Structure 1
Amino acid sequence: MTLQDLYEDHRQILRLGEKLIEVAAFDPPHMPQLVAARREIAQAMARHLANEARLALMPLGASSDPYDRALARRYTSDLLSMRQSSSAHMGHWTMDAIAADPREYRLAVRAQLRMMAARRQWEETEFLPAAGRLAAGRRAPLRLVG
């Protein structure tokens, strides 16, 4: 696993999210397939976050550069918010709730995917490139933290 693989993981997770929406498009949804799609995305996220922590978060958090450490703090803070949102989503959208309102469930999944896409954008423009520079031993010019 390399830093470059993390970029592909992002795209794979979003594809799995779209697959989840497709599975939920049936009225009533096909619950076994929906459960499998939810499990698949959760497993992909868990693997990705573990690899991202090892390859990017830990090195940036241990860096002597205040900007790198600020990126690591933001990553952690944003991840906590994302996990809270995801937990609330999963808690609300039980199988019974999905069966009762599959259209609203699809809208809720799309909202979660938009949040993930925004995070992916930040990670791919700031967080992962900083980890790449650090791994390559290159120092970026001094920047303002924040």
Structure 2
Amino acid sequence: MTPVERLFLDQKSLQSAIEALHAICTSPEPPLRESLAQIRWTFARTLMRHLQLKDRVVYARLRNHPDPLVQATGERFRREAFELYARFEQHSERWTADAVAADWQTYRAMAAQMIRMLNDRVAREEAELLPHLDSAPDLPVLRTEQDHNWAAAGWKMRAWFGVDREEAIPPAAISPPSEARAAPARRGLRPRPVLPLPPSPPRSPRRV
């Protein structure tokens, strides 16, 4: 499988994760706490993996495209990705497992808004960004200085969603407040060490 084929396959996985989150948020009653935590974490994990793949397969190639206009398009989408992910992080931190349980209806509305935003992004990528890969140089999939550490908030998200307790988060995985709140454009300028994605949680649903 080529890197581009893997990218499009991963894009389908992301769409499936979005659909699973949307489906559970259509219910007027909250689902099992553990079920929602698993679906939210699966979505977040898939999104982080996909953004990393975009860095190495899409943006790296378009950065070296012979057409300056295509280079500019790739850079615009790359910067937009920082803004989108920052909004997703803020949404995730705001809507912890306890916050969702306390106000399911508002969470549903906010999650639907976020899902529409992501679907719009996917549609624009397919129309304006990904077609340029056909004329881009075929570069090896390597980590570069331009790559962003999308997985840096992974452990925190697991705690926010209710997958892990706060005390279970490795101290090294917690960023200082100033870094966690840095502006998206600034955060994209200096790469941080890549943390491995946490393992998927065990499935043991219980009702709350």
For the aligned pair, the TM-score class normalised by the smaller chain equals 0.7 to 0.9
Larger mean CA deviation between 19-28 and 48-57 belongs to 19-28
The equivalences for 1:42-121 within 5 A come to 42-121=44-123
Following the alignment from structure 1 to structure 2, what is the Cα–Cα distance between the partners of residues 62 and 134?
Answer: 7
Shift of 1:4: 3.9
Which letter maps to 2:65?
A: S
> Where do 5+ consecutive residues of structure 2 fail to align?
139-208
- Relative to its length, the structure with more helix (as a share) is 1
Q: Indicate conservation of the 8 Å contact 2:64/2:136, yes or no.
A: no
User: Is the alpha carbon distance of 1:79 and 1:89 closer, same or farther for their aligned partners in structure 2, counting shifts above 3 Å?
Assistant: same
Relative to the length of structure 2, the TM-score reads: 0.59
User: Is the alpha carbon distance of 1:10 and 1:111 closer, same or farther for their aligned partners in structure 2, counting shifts above 3 Å?
Assistant: farther
> Where do 5+ consecutive residues of structure 1 fail to align?
137-146
Q: Indicate conservation of the 8 Å contact 1:29/1:102, yes or no.
A: no
Shift of 1:62: 2.1
Give aligned pairs, total: 136
Shift of 1:46: 1.7
Following the alignment from structure 2 to structure 1, what is the Cα–Cα distance between the partners of residues 123 and 67?
Answer: 22
User: Is the alpha carbon distance of 1:111 and 1:10 closer, same or farther for their aligned partners in structure 2, counting shifts above 3 Å?
Assistant: farther
Shift of 1:120: 0.7
Which letter maps to 1:35?
A: A
Following the alignment from structure 1 to structure 2, what is the Cα–Cα distance between the partners of residues 109 and 59?
Answer: 33
Following the alignment from structure 2 to structure 1, what is the Cα–Cα distance between the partners of residues 123 and 103?
Answer: 31
Following the alignment from structure 2 to structure 1, what is the Cα–Cα distance between the partners of residues 110 and 62?
Answer: 33
The equivalent residue for 1:15 is: 16
Following the alignment from structure 1 to structure 2, what is the Cα–Cα distance between the partners of residues 5 and 113?
Answer: 23
Q: Indicate conservation of the 8 Å contact 1:3/1:128, yes or no.
A: no
Secondary structure of the residue aligned to 2:63 is: helix
Shift of 1:8: 4.0
Runs (4+) of structure 1 exceeding 6 A deviation are none
Q: 1:29 aligns with which of 20, 28, 31?
A: 31
Following the alignment from structure 1 to structure 2, what is the Cα–Cα distance between the partners of residues 4 and 125?
Answer: 17
Which letter maps to 1:72?
A: G
Following the alignment from structure 1 to structure 2, what is the Cα–Cα distance between the partners of residues 21 and 31?
Answer: 16
Relative to the length of structure 1, the TM-score reads: 0.81
Which letter maps to 2:93?
A: G
Shift of 1:84: 1.4
Shift of 1:115: 0.7
The equivalent residue for 1:132 is: 134
Which letter maps to 1:41?
A: F
Shift of 1:45: 1.1
Following the alignment from structure 1 to structure 2, what is the Cα–Cα distance between the partners of residues 53 and 106?
Answer: 30
Following the alignment from structure 1 to structure 2, what is the Cα–Cα distance between the partners of residues 116 and 5?
Answer: 20
The equivalent residue for 1:141 is: none
Shift of 1:26: 6.5
